[in-house]
A and B are shown apart, each in its own frame.
Chain A
Amino acid sequence: MNGTVDNTLEISGLDTSYGRIPMLRGVSLNVPSGQVCCVLGANGAGKTTLVKAILNMVKADRGSMKLEGKNMDSWPTHKRVKSGIAISAAAVGTFHKMTVEDNLKMGAYYIDDSLLQERLGEIYQSFPVLRERLRQKAGTLSGGERTMLAIARAVVNKPKLLILDEPSLGLAPIMIEEVFEIIRRLRATRQMSILLVEQNAVKALSVAGCGYVIQKGAIAFSGTADALGRSEFVENPVM
């Protein structure tokens, strides 16, 4: 990688709105390369809007975004994905009538077939659950398996930036443990930078190096994960 670029994602002064109601206000955020950054916030604080704005699924009114130093403001969603941003959003679900294998292939939309086979092989090693379910329709998977599939689908691309939007959503504690184990493994390879959007502050901070708190559409805290862990935001459970 280019040595001068140390942030995979740089967002500065991002504003978005739903109709005439402002949503995000002046959000600035960096994801250093090879690191896990978490974004904490309550329901409705703007976490998902932020994620969608990064993919241009929600239009930015102001502000600019850079991927590895390249300005991507004018890129449409598919170009951003192609350029190396992958997202796994638990709430968005799967292609429920397709098999697990086809779901993974849809994730690898821009990869040619020989490379795809190699990548799928790697995926089955990291996600053994999925290998057993390959021919099964995604709609028949359990909640935990679906989350695994959503993460695997995003990872197939080997993105520069992996965005995980509430991976622990609706999962049993034992599954949450497993999901964070996977995030730890992904972090250990250091091949991708991860933006982890979570409500579960304790879990998120256990894997993150830097952290942000988003409140009512604005960044209320930014700093290292340790500092965030000691701050009022985490100690006060209401946030």
Chain B
Amino acid sequence: MEMFWGLAVSAILLGCTYTLVAIGFSLFFGVMDVVVFCCGDIAIFGSFAIIGAYAVAQSAGLFGVFPFWVCVILLILIGAVFCAAWGLITHQLSIKPFQNSSELMPLLSTIAMGTVIKEGLGLLFKPVVNTISAAFDRESAVTVVSGRNPQGFPSLLLPDGTVGARYLTIIVITAVILLLLFLFLNKTKMGMSMQAISQNKELSLMTGINVSRVIIITFLIGGVMLAVSGFLVGSYQKLMSFDDGAMYGAKGFSAAVVGGLRNTWGAVIGGMLLAFVEVFVSGYIPKGTAYSSIAAFVIVVIFIVFKPDGIIGDKSVEKV
């Protein structure tokens, strides 16, 4: 039974990271009717922005000047700014120019954008052993340098606390972010406009919503969501590789599809479902770790075949 609860906690943690990426997918899909395939890469871009900012802050000695928690919040904000900016760049460069062309164009161009982010990070973050170990988690100072060029993610969540407390923080942060997003979407004019555009774009124009402005703001907010996700992924995995985005993107997208694209709660449920399947397969099936991702994607295939609208889905035909 103890194993069960242990696995459940890991699943929830993993689910938190998937959920936020999935929400990025849903938000973008909602306003643009386009699957932005570089969501995972933007999230990982956020974690690397934090890694980079941390290294800079440390070499400048900022951690002595400000209290630790202030630095942590600043680092997350830096990640959020970078991701929001990159969300906007993605929209301007790889979605907006293709608005009137075939639906496949933005699909390809966002994949290309993902590759740009990935390879850019690979070039920027060379395997530097020394700064990594400095930035590293205190209790597990591992320095690995391999072909995939992993970077240590600074331990920012309760570095002196227990592992349990740290995990709890990840869950609390996700919950708070989800609550804020929910309030934003349902209680503010901007949030309602996003929902309106997602439900009926033509009518939104006719109602006088400044659609292009709302779309830009959606990309900024989606970028912030992805940055938080990148922060949580980093804090959870501790070791980041520049090409992690592909896997997180695939999982986040799958979670969004399973939950029902366009639906924020669907993204949460989908993310959790995927994470639970993955963690429990690797926990209970002998040598299951190797198959955990496969199991998760099998779930996606099952959903696409039997319930293509997702768990809480619209009855509309999705164009993927």
Q: Does A193 contact B (CB under 8 A)?
A: no
Contact with A along B199-222 (1 / 0, CB 8 A): 110111111111100000000000
Q: Does B235 contact A (CB under 8 A)?
A: no
CB atoms of B208 and A98 under 8 A apart:
no
Contact with B along A78-95 (1 / 0, CB 8 A): 101110000101001111
Question: Closest CB-CB distance, B147 to chain A, in whole Å?
Answer: 48
Q: Given known contacts A92-B200, A94-B200, is B207 in contact with A106 (CB within 8 Å)?
A: yes
Question: Closest CB-CB distance, A94 to chain B, in whole Å?
Answer: 7
Residues on the B chain within 8 Å of A55, using CB = 205-206
Residues on the A chain within 8 Å of B241, using CB = none
Q: Does B83 contact A (CB under 8 A)?
A: no
Tell me what chain B mostly uses at the interface: helix, strand, loop, or mixed. Answer: helix
State which residues 171-216 of B face A: CB under 8 Å. 189, 192-193, 195-196, 199-200, 202-211
Q: Given known contacts A93-B200, A96-B200, is B207 in contact with A109 (CB within 8 Å)?
A: yes
Residues on the A chain within 8 Å of B206, using CB = 55, 57, 77, 81, 87, 89, 92
CB atoms of B205 and A106 under 8 A apart:
no
Pick from B195, B200, B210: contact of A78, CB below 8 A: B210
Of all chain B residues, which has the CB nearest A139?
A: B199
Of all chain A residues, which has the CB nearest B314?
A: A97
Of all chain A residues, which has the CB nearest B100?
A: A19
Residues on the A chain within 8 Å of B314, using CB = 97
CB atoms of A81 and B202 under 8 A apart:
no
Residues on the A chain within 8 Å of B202, using CB = 57, 92
Pick from A80, A97, A107, A157: contact of B195, CB below 8 A: A97
Question: Closest CB-CB distance, B125 to chain A, in whole Å?
Answer: 42
Residues on the A chain within 8 Å of B196, using CB = 95, 98, 106
Q: Does A124 contact B (CB under 8 A)?
A: no
CB atoms of B208 and A110 under 8 A apart:
yes
Q: Given known contacts A57-B205, A92-B200, is B210 in contact with A106 (CB within 8 Å)?
A: no
Residues on the A chain within 8 Å of B199, using CB = 95-98
Residues on the B chain within 8 Å of A77, using CB = 205-206, 208, 211
Contact with B along A98-113 (1 / 0, CB 8 A): 1000100111011000
Question: Closest CB-CB distance, B68 to chain A, in whole Å?
Answer: 43
Interface centre among A57, A80, A106 (most CB of B within 10 A): A106
State which residues 143-190 of A face B: CB under 8 Å. 153, 157
A107 to B192 Cα, complex, angstroms: 12
Question: Closest CB-CB distance, B223 to chain A, in whole Å?
Answer: 24
Residues on the B chain within 8 Å of A82, using CB = 208
CB atoms of B200 and A95 under 8 A apart:
yes
Residues on the B chain within 8 Å of A95, using CB = 195-196, 199-200, 203
Residues on the B chain within 8 Å of A157, using CB = 208
Residues on the B chain within 8 Å of A102, using CB = 192
Residues on the A chain within 8 Å of B189, using CB = 109
Contact with B along A41-74 (1 / 0, CB 8 A): 0000000000000010100000000000000000
Q: Given known contacts A98-B195, A102-B192, is B207 in contact with A107 (CB within 8 Å)?
A: yes
Residues on the B chain within 8 Å of A96, using CB = 199-200
Residues on the B chain within 8 Å of A98, using CB = 192, 195-196, 199
A39 to B119 Cα, complex, angstroms: 58
A92 to B207 Cα, complex, angstroms: 11
Contact with A along B122-155 (1 / 0, CB 8 A): 0000000000000000000000000000000000
A19 to B200 Cα, complex, angstroms: 24
A106 to B203 Cα, complex, angstroms: 10
CB atoms of A92 and B208 under 8 A apart:
no
A94 to B199 Cα, complex, angstroms: 8
A61 to B195 Cα, complex, angstroms: 32
A105 to B192 Cα, complex, angstroms: 10
Of all chain B residues, which has the CB nearest A81?
A: B208
Residues on the A chain within 8 Å of B207, using CB = 81, 106-107, 109, 153
A43 to B200 Cα, complex, angstroms: 23
CB atoms of B195 and A92 under 8 A apart:
no
Q: Given known contacts A102-B192, A106-B196, is B203 in contact with A94 (CB within 8 Å)?
A: yes
Interface centre among B193, B206, B207, B211 (most CB of A within 10 A): B206
Question: Closest CB-CB distance, A147 to chain B, in whole Å?
Answer: 13
Closest 7 A/B residue pairs (Cβ):
A81-B208, A78-B210, A95-B199, A109-B208, A78-B208, A92-B203, A87-B206
A residues within 8 Å of B by Cβ? Answer: 55, 57, 76-78, 80-82, 87, 89, 92-98, 102, 105-107, 109-110, 153, 157
The 12 listed contacts between A and B (C-beta, < 8 Å) are: A55-B206, A57-B202, A81-B207, A87-B206, A93-B203, A94-B200, A95-B195, A95-B200, A95-B203, A97-B195, A109-B207, A153-B207
B residues within 8 Å of A by Cβ? Answer: 189, 192-193, 195-196, 199-200, 202-211, 314
19 additional A-B pairs beyond A95-B200, A97-B314, A98-B192, beta carbons within 8 Å, are A55-B205, A55-B206, A77-B211, A78-B208, A80-B208, A81-B208, A87-B206, A89-B203, A92-B203, A92-B206, A93-B203, A97-B199, A106-B192, A106-B196, A106-B204, A106-B207, A106-B209, A107-B207, A109-B208
